[in-house]
Amino acid sequence: MIVKIGTRGSRLSLIQTDSVIDMLRRIGSDLEFQKVIMKTAGDVFREKSLYSFGAKGIFEREINLAVIEGRVDFAVHSLKDLPSEEYDELGLAAIPKRESPNDVLISNSRKTFTELKANNIVGTSSVRRMMQIKLHRPDLRVVRLRGNVETRLRKAANGEFDAVVLAEAGVKRLGLQDKVSERLPLNMFVPAPGQGALVAVARKDDDKMLRLLSKIDDRESRNECVVERIVASKLSGGCQVPMGIIAHQTGNSLSAYSALYSIDGRKKIACNIEGKSDNASDVAERLANKLLEFGASGIIDEWRKTKVNW
């Protein structure tokens, strides 16, 4: 039997899909796997601002439609690219062991974040990272930077940028960890929901695929990502809202920390919640409610009413 897997065609996407295939082979699957490469809106409009699309899921919609229509059996995504509002027909069949959720700084001078000089240019594709940089180093110039990881590193190396901020997981999967100047702390650079995790998406009525993929699911990583995605959904925290959230499970304990940033960069709402790992949804609900109690709705509304060219 040939199992068809939908994926984007970038080097990182193919590496991530191959890693899922390797996991399935290690558990003893004798199936034959075939990658089906597809382009998404995010690939076609590579230099366009992410926020000008006015829609979620620009890196996964076309691929997930292929799963729904049965053209592929499942798809592999970076979980942070998957909107928190899930498809009725699809399920998160497997969230393998999560890679580092941290962001990293890569500077052409090997300087750390605090060592960068005033007016140095830092590139990022994320409004969340942009606000975090401005909050902690208002003297730096933050410039929008799109393209794959290799493109961003090349622009730093040739002097277009003094530094770039990227997700550590992607850098490590590409074998480029030697380029990293500094791993940025989670309490300052709170990551996007699901950052560092991969996900295999399959149809909810495809019992065979669901059983197969469940064998590579990591319960702790799933609990952490479920909390992060529920909070993002409750707060309607799409890519236009600079919200960071990180959950961490230790034994039976599950903690979660989230932060939102005002549009003027002067205000940060943050909250931490702890609970039991067997009730991830309760941890998420309490964290979302606490953020709303602290005034998150006002910040979210402010961002939604403002046209952001990022």
CATH number at residue 246: 3.30.160.40
Whether 4 and 92 map to the same domain: the answer is yes
pTM equals 0.91
**Per-residue pLDDT at 263 exceeds 90:** no
Whether 232 and 85 map to the same domain: the answer is no
Average pLDDT score over residue span 261-285: 92
Which residue has better confidence, 1 or 231?
A: 231
**Per-residue pLDDT at 40 exceeds 90:** no
Whether 226 and 302 map to the same domain: the answer is yes
CA gap 41, 57 in Å, rounded: 9
The residue type of 242 is P
Domain stop point among 124, 159, 183: 183
**Per-residue pLDDT at 96 exceeds 90:** yes
Could you tell me the CA-to-CA distances from 276 to 29, 255, 273, 282, 290 in Å, in that order?
34, 8, 10, 9, 17
CA gap 177, 141 in Å, rounded: 25
Average pLDDT score over residue span 219-225: 97
**Per-residue pLDDT at 50 exceeds 70:** no
Name the DSSP class of 221: H
Whether 65 and 205 map to the same domain: the answer is yes
What is the per-residue pLDDT for 237? 57
Distance from chain centroid for Cα 293? 26
Number of domains in the chain: 3
**Mean pLDDT taken over the chain:** 91
Q: What is the CATH number of the domain that holds 138?
A: 3.40.190.10
What is the percent of the chain with per-residue pLDDT over 70, rounded to a whole number?
Answer: 92
Report yes or no on 293 lying in a domain.
Answer: yes
Average pLDDT score over residue span 251-269: 91
Query: Residues 303, 279: contact at Cβ < 8 Å?
Result: no
Average pLDDT score over residue span 169-174: 96
Report yes or no on 188 lying in a domain.
Answer: no
Whether 73 and 136 map to the same domain: the answer is no
**Per-residue pLDDT at 156 exceeds 90:** no
Band of residue 57 on the pLDDT scale cut at 50, 70, 90: low
* Structure tokens belonging to residue 104: 């990293």
* Structure tokens belonging to residue 244: 């960071």
Q: Which of 38-42, 129-133, 223-227 has the lowest mean pLDDT?
A: 38-42
Could you tell me the CA-to-CA distances from 283 to 218, 235, 260, 264, 276 in Å, in that order?
19, 14, 18, 30, 8
Report yes or no on 190 lying in a domain.
Answer: no
What is the per-residue pLDDT for 53? 45
**Per-residue pLDDT at 149 exceeds 70:** yes
Report yes or no on 191 lying in a domain.
Answer: no
What is the per-residue pLDDT for 83? 86
**Per-residue pLDDT at 65 exceeds 90:** yes
| Angle between helix 280-293 and helix 219-234 axes, rounded to 10 deg | 30
Report yes or no on 189 lying in a domain.
Answer: no
Whether 89 and 208 map to the same domain: the answer is yes
Closest CA to 257 of 269, 239, 240, 241: 269
Structural domain harbouring 46 = 1-96+197-217
Name the DSSP class of 175: T
Whether 244 and 225 map to the same domain: the answer is yes
Report yes or no on 174 lying in a domain.
Answer: yes
**Per-residue pLDDT at 147 exceeds 90:** no
Whether 53 and 168 map to the same domain: the answer is no
Whether 85 and 209 map to the same domain: the answer is yes
Q: From the candidates 73, 81, 103, 206, which is the catalytic residue?
A: 81
What is the per-residue pLDDT for 39? 82
Whether 150 and 270 map to the same domain: the answer is no
What is the per-residue pLDDT for 59? 67
Whether 89 and 164 map to the same domain: the answer is no
Distance from chain centroid for Cα 301? 22
Domain stop point among 183, 207, 232: 183
Report yes or no on 50 lying in a domain.
Answer: yes
What is the per-residue pLDDT for 293? 96
**Per-residue pLDDT at 170 exceeds 90:** yes
Average pLDDT score over residue span 74-85: 91
Report yes or no on 192 lying in a domain.
Answer: no
Whether 145 and 287 map to the same domain: the answer is no
Catalytic site includes residue 81: yes
